[in-house]
Chain A
Amino acid sequence: MATELLMPALSPTMEEGTLAKWLVKEGDEVKSGDILAEIETDKATMEFEAVDEGIVGKILIAEGTEGVKVNTPIAVIGEEGEDMSTASAAPAAEEAPAAAAAAVPATAAAPVDFAPSDKSPDWPEGTEMKSMTVREALNEAMAEEMTRDEDVFLMGEEVGEYQGAYKISQGLLDKFGDKRVVDTPITEHGFAGIATGAAFGGLRPIVEFMTFNFAMQAIDQIINSAAKTLYMSGGQMGAPMVFRGPNGAAARVGAQHSQCYAAWYAQIPGLKVVMPYTAADAKGLMKTAIRDNNPVIFLENEILYGKSFDVPVMDDFTIPFGKARVAVEGDDVTIVSFGIGMTYAMEAAEKLAEEGISAEVIDLRTLRPIDYATVLESVQKTNRCITVEEGFPVGSIGNHIGATIMQEAFDYLDAPVINCAGKDVPMPYAANLERHALITTEEVIAAVKQVTYR
């Protein structure tokens, strides 16, 4: 049967092209792989090959013709002895279905659920409390979850025999053995990929980065492999795993070892991002992270590791993602922070109280999902908001919170939202410079006074 040869699309963007040259003439016999013509696209001259054998019947578009639309019949190919003077026997070119008319949602973000915030307490009233460091809380959380689920294992540099570069995994090797506490070579990209593959294979890895600065070596695997596979596979497989380690500035370790990645990871659909401040949150959120069926970025902080907080003594204590904690209630201004930023927020709130300014301090705890409801309800009450974080100011979490408040609660605002963030400079080494590169409590206080017009 005679078939029409159609002007091919030869690149992702080609809509039309020039039929530069025919390399066959009517009556020629061709077989699969023979070049039939040269076609100029927007990018290059391409050779157009036959995919079947047959005889060139009629050439419908002469060489040198410009602006030939994709899918226009350019020749007829048929079998020996066939009448190919017309192409009527050939099926009409099929139309690619028009892209569905853009019924695109009005906002780029998934529809936000502004149901009332969850005000339930994190643990029942009267629960026995125990003072514990953030380090101990994280260690306990991992040990409990490894006991609970055989498929959970820990992998990273110095996590086993050395007992952890920051001693978060202390004792775990003794408890669980080297099958489940795996010391890796210094090879972040490689072991992040291996752990992600192990998660595809049905395990639940916890990957410790000695610090998140080194996870930049592995960020391709975290984002392109761990975060996106569930979507790319149409829901067939994903990566139930935790990437954890200290994040942000420690003290005097210079530019390459002092960076906060909260905003980087919080940008990625498919990841969940946690950045706790207290030991109770570190424990409850770590247990939730390990049980979550999605890849979770768990951002710890070296300076907070040794800080003690009360942690509830419970058999199975977890904190859900997407539920912020109102650390201090107040009426005059909302201070939104997370992680080590809370240190400045809490100190500022205390000093402001002495001056008669009542600040409400919200600890976001998780940055993806974010508890917008708690923030918006607070802003509707205080009519003022500032954000506090140690990361760089451009494209920060505070920027996003500010934009969301502007969009959702503009009429409630009595002042613009101010973002307090780390300075827009690489981290300096000198003690005085470093202090100024980070946020200071004075800056937080000044921002509050600015929005409260005091």
Chain B
Amino acid sequence: MAAKKTSKKSNVSADELLAYYRDMLLIRRFEEKAGQLYGMGLIGGFCHLYIGQEAVVVGLESATKEGDKRITSYRDHGHMLACGMDPNGVMAELTGREGGYSKGKGGSMHMFSKEKHFYGGHGIVGAQVPLGAGLAFSDKYKGNDNVTFAYFGDGAANQGQIYETFNMAALWDLPVIFVIENNQYAMGTSQARSTSTPDLYTRGEAFGIKGEIVDGMDVLAVKEASEKAVAHCRAGKGPYVLEVKTYRYRGHSMSDPAKYRTRDEVQKMRDERDPIEQVRDMLLTGKHATEDDLKAIDKEIKGVVNESAEFAKESPEPDLSELWTDIYTDA
């Protein structure tokens, strides 16, 4: 990976580290379970796993406060868990059941939570970016100091509507953080094959938007960058671009034979850069936790995830009458 800023790993408390460990592990185990349920035919259609990218959402969410908003693409399970949505409701949406966040009508790519200010879950590459700027527009209009995180991929970064949005967000000083999750591939297309200049964080410069590149495998570096970006937006200084360099271990979706990269490339990343292992090491070497402490957390997380899978299997399919509901809402 390209040279980038890493955190100084200073003054972070044991509790904080443990919280990141737990949040990242929940995403990883949840996604592994989703992969299993997919293999068993309980989850259908497209299912895009977030494994490898956990530090991105966990680090970014660490700087948020109540009322802040987030919106992302179809690779959305991690974002939902990181903002506090219930794993049961997310898993049950994956299995298309009544207990899912969208009553089974949205699926893996389309989930929402008004309560947690999570605005989806969007399947059209890039479309969530103007929507995110629109959420920020609504906060600015109402005169509060909330910010919106609009997440998108390195592939999405080549969609025209993103630059339309950059322009207006800068023109109108919208409190939106554009988070480019650069996992280096868009399906089977590496960034080098799709992008004329590699540094996506500079893409806002033409519009006067400050950008920064961050090591997305290091949750502390992401947290630090998030704090800075959030402070900028809350202060009314307009939008901010964060390019977060990350990596997805699994295929693009479940049906990806992954012939565009070598096994070694993936393995090397897992062995050397894994975001969860990094925090685990910090916890152990810093004597913030013992092996047993971490085992206990692992067990607890496994329990949460297993329960979500049980819930997602037990929850009934939506009633057929649901076919005709939620198309319009009463005036």
Contacts and interface: CB of A to CB of B under 8 A. Distances in A.
Contact of A41 (B35, B255, B324, B325): B255
A42 B83 CA distance: 38
B135 A197 contact: yes
Interface stretch (A137-145, A208-216, A232-240, A252-260): A232-240
B280 to A, nearest CB: 14
A12 B44 CA distance: 6
A201 B135 contact: yes
Contacts of B35: 51
B23 to A, nearest CB: 19
B263 interface: yes
B258 A47 contact: yes
B3 interface: no
Nearest to A194: B134
Interface in B188-213: none
A225 B40 contact: no
A267 to B, nearest CB: 13
A197 B327 CA distance: 18
A9 B39 contact: yes
A100 B320 contact: yes
A382 B130 CA distance: 51
Contacts of A236: 101-102, 112-114
Contacts of B130: 189-194, 196-197, 221
Contact of A187 (B100, B129, B141, B164): B164
B131 A93 contact: no
Interface stretch (B11-19, B54-62, B103-111, B281-289): B103-111
Interface string B129-151: 11111111111011000000000
B45 interface: yes
Contact of B131 (A51, A185, A197): A197
A233 B134 contact: no
A411 interface: no
Nearest to A197: B134
A190 B164 contact: yes
Given A12-B46, A189-B130, A233 B110 contact: yes
B127 A221 contact: yes
Given A46-B257, A189-B160, A190-B167, A231 B327 contact: yes
A10 B168 contact: no
A293 B172 CA distance: 26
A325 interface: no
Interface stretch (B115-123, B178-186, B215-223, B232-240): B115-123
Contacts of A14: 255
Contact of A232 (B40, B105, B138): B105
Contacts of A24: none
Interface string B154-175: 0000001100110110011000
B1 interface: no
Contacts of B224: none
Interface string B10-45: 000000000000000000000010011011111011
A291 interface: yes
A182 to B, nearest CB: 8
B42 A94 contact: yes
B329 A238 contact: yes
A83 interface: no
Interface in B69-124: 69, 71, 100-106, 110-114, 119-124
A208 to B, nearest CB: 15
Nearest to B251: A46
Majority DSSP secondary structure for residues of A touching B: loop
A292 B329 CA distance: 9
Contacts of B129: 193
A201 B44 contact: no
Interface string A40-76: 0101111100010000000000000000001100000
A84 interface: no
Contacts of B40: 6, 8-9, 70-71, 93-94, 96
B161 A229 contact: no
A329 to B, nearest CB: 30
B32 A32 contact: yes
Contact of B161 (A6, A9, A10, A190): A190
Given A11-B254, A96-B42, A194 B328 contact: no
Given A110-B324, A232-B102, A236-B102, A193 B138 contact: no
B273 interface: no
A224 B105 contact: no
Contacts of B317: 97, 100
Contact of B254 (A6, A10, A238): A10
A101 B39 CA distance: 23
A111 B330 CA distance: 18
A45 B256 CA distance: 9
Contact of B32 (A51, A191, A193): A51
B49 to A, nearest CB: 11
Given A197-B137, A198-B138, 6 more contacts: A14-B255, A70-B41, A94-B313, A197-B71, A197-B130, A234-B106
12 contacts: A8-B39, A9-B40, A41-B255, A194-B130, A196-B130, A197-B136, A224-B123, A230-B329, A233-B110, A233-B120, A234-B100, A234-B326
Interface of B: 32, 35-36, 38-42, 44-46, 69, 71, 100-106, 110-114, 119-124, 127, 129-139, 141-142, 160-161, 164-165, 167-168, 171-172, 249, 254-255, 257-258, 263, 267, 270, 313, 317, 320, 324-331
| Pairs A-B, 6 closest by C-beta atoms | A197-B134, A193-B130, A190-B164, A201-B138, A8-B39, A11-B255
Interface of A: 6, 8-12, 14, 32-33, 35, 41, 43-47, 51, 70-71, 93-94, 96-97, 100, 103, 110-111, 153, 179, 182, 184-185, 187, 189-203, 220-221, 224-225, 229-238, 269-270, 272, 288, 291-294
